[in-house]
């Protein structure tokens, strides 16, 4: 809508667009989405091709630099990320200060903000080299922090990153390994974790990425801007959806109760929805869900969990959604959160830590957008408002 605001603010016109549904605050060359056609491209490359032929770190390089790396560039990038993956002791102390039952997203947000304190003096957002090193630190330390939050909540000793392990292997070892013992990492699980990170790497101007851009537009420290993104991702309407999937499976409790819940989901007078089905942007299919489904099947078979009661409910729901007329007609396919929730549950990641994994994968997307913004002339973000309060009035004498 075009609103005449004369008399209340500076004379002129502006758009009133709740939720910014039709407003582009920036240009971007990073990610393209066509929800109707189920297309997601990073720098032009389809997500399913990246999931099949690439890996998380190579996709990070692509998002940050615009092109796929050569073999040497890929090796150097992975090496630098590894070199910068150890977390400063001051941040480890902050994590240890949290109560054992603190939410892992609260720990993660605080820890990333604390990285701003560790690196503030040497961070120069106008320097390409400084921005490169900050990317290594962020990508390198996110899985370390995710694992430290887990270990702290378990009351176990932290495990430092291991120079002999690849990115996802290191995450699994730091999370599920035992300090002082040599790492034993299951390759099927490591591949599935790498895919989870990769499939969450970027999704253009969603709420958390827009937050990072808006926050970063003030010229703030990049770790502080990323911490703002983490706060935004935490909400159930954004990164919390895969947690909601598992909570729903637990509420259903048994395959015998599925019909009742499916009937509730179809009932117009019942607010209940099947979590993990449908998507705001993808109306035919979510290209990430296909890849994630394959990874889920591989993980369940590797761990011999095909008959796990909770996962049996998930499998049955998936079948109903693909065959039932209501779900077909409304294009309600299982989404990426449905399958990533199943994989993380099978691997043993606590439900409340699912969003931390999402944040770990998404950190590169947030950073790529921040970097794209600060690498060119930009303005501080300053949305307008449609004022609906009182006109000027006098204080009662």
Q: Where are the alpha helices (DSSP H) in 253-353?
A: 258-266, 287-302, 309-323, 325-329, 336-347
State how far the Cα of 315 lies from the Cα of 295, in Å rounded to an integer: 14
Quote the CA–CA distance of 326 and 332 in Å, as a whole number: 8
Nearer to ligand ACO, 278 or 365 (CB): 278
314 binds ligand ACO (CB under 6 A): no
Structure tokens given for 245: 């999937």
Query: In DSSP terms, which residues pair with 32 in a beta bridge?
Result: 41
> Considering the rule CB under 6 A, would residue 31 count as an interface residue with ligand ACO?
no
Known active-site residue 279: yes
Residue nearest to ligand ACO (CB): 278
Q: Is residue 279 involved in binding ligand ACO (CB under 6 A)?
A: yes
Structure tokens at 281: 């942007």
Of 203 and 213, the one with the shorter C-beta distance to ligand ACO is 203
- Which of 38, 109, 278, 365 is close enough to bind ligand ACO by CB under 6 A? 278
* Residue (of 180, 193, 116, 165) closest to 361 by Cα position: 193
336 burial via Cβ count (<10 Å: 0-12, 13-18, 19+): buried
One residue of 40, 337, 339, 358 binding ligand ACO per CB under 6 A: 337
DSSP 212: H
If binding is defined by CB under 6 A, does position 275 make contact with ligand ACO? Answer: yes
Q: Which stretch binds ligand ACO (CB under 6 A): 9-17, 148-156, 278-286, 383-391?
A: 278-286
CB of 224 to ligand ACO, least distance (A): 24
Cβ-based nearer residue to ligand ACO, 279 or 315: 279
Structural contact between residues 120 and 221, judged by C-beta atoms closer than 8 angstroms: yes
For ligand ACO, the closer of residues 83 and 273 by Cβ is 273
Candidates 200, 286, 337, 369; catalytic one: 337
Least distance between ligand ACO and beta carbon 313 (Å)? 15
For ligand ACO, the binding residue among 40, 51, 332, 353 (CB under 6 A) is 332
Nearest CA to 150 out of 180, 193, 107, 190 is that of: 107
Closest to ligand ACO by CB, 40 or 81: 40
Query: Could you say which residues in the range 348-377 bind ligand ACO, by CB under 6 A?
Result: none
> x/- binding map, residues 280-309, to ligand ACO, per CB under 6 A?
x-----------------------------
Q: Is 339 in contact with 288 (CB distance < 8 Å)? A: no
- Known active-site residue 337: yes
Residue 64 is a binding residue for ligand ACO (CB under 6 A): no
Q: What residues have CB less than 8 Å from 303, skipping those under 6 apart? A: 189, 346, 347
Say whether 177 sits in a helix, a strand or coil: coil
Q: Is 378 in a helix, a strand, or coil?
A: coil
Q: Is 333 in the site for ligand ACO (CB under 6 A)?
A: no
Site track for ligand ACO across 240-269, x = CB under 6 A: -x-----------------------x----
Residues with catalytic function = 279, 337
């Amino acid at each position: 809508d075009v609103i005449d605001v004369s008399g209340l603010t500076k004379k002129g016109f502006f758009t009133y667009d709740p939720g910014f549904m039709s407003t582009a605050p920036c240009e971007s060359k990073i990610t393209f989405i066509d929800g109707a056609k189920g297309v997601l491209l990073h720098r032009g490359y389809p997500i399913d091709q990246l999931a099949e032929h690439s890996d998380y770190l190579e996709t990070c390089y692509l998002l940050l630099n615009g092109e796929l790396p050569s073999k040497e560039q890929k090796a150097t990038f992975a090496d630098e990320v590894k070199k910068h993956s150890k977390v400063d002791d001051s941040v480890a102390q902050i994590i240890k200060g949290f109560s054992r039952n603190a939410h892992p997203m609260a720990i993660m947000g605080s820890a990333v903000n604390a990285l701003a304190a560790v690196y503030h003096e040497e961070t120069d957002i106008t320097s390409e080299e400084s921005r490169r090193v900050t990317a290594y630190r962020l990508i390198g330390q996110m899985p370390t922090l995710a694992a430290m939050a887990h270990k702290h909540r378990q009351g176990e000793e932290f495990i430092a990153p291991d120079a002999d392990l690849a990115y996802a292997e290191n995450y699994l070892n730091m999370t599920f390994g035992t300090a002082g013992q040599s790492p034993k990492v299951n390759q099927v699980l490591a591949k599935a974790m790498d895919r989870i990170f990769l499939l969450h790497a970027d999704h253009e101007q969603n709420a958390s990425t827009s937050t990072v851009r808006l926050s970063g537009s003030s010229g703030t420290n990049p770790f502080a801007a990323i911490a703002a993104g983490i706060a935004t991702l935490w909400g159930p309407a954004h990164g919390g959806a895969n947690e909601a999937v598992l909570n729903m499976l637990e509420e259903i409790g048994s395959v015998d109760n599925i019909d009742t819940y499916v009937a509730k989901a179809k009932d117009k007078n019942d607010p209940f929805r099947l979590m993990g089905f449908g998507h705001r942007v993808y109306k035919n299919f979510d290209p990430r869900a296909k890849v994630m489904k394959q990874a889920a099947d591989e993980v369940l078979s590797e761990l011999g969990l095909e008959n796990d009661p909770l996962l049996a409910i998930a499998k049955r729901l998936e079948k109903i959604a693909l065959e039932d007329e209501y779900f077909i007609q409304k294009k309600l396919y299982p989404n990426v959160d449905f399958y990533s929730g199943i994989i993380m549950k099978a691997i043993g990641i606590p439900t409340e830590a699912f969003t931390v994994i999402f944040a770990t994968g998404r950190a590169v997307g947030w950073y790529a957008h921040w970097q794209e913004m600060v690498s060119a002339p930009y303005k501080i973000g300053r949305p307008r408002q449609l004022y609906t309060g009182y006109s000027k009035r006098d204080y009662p004498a």
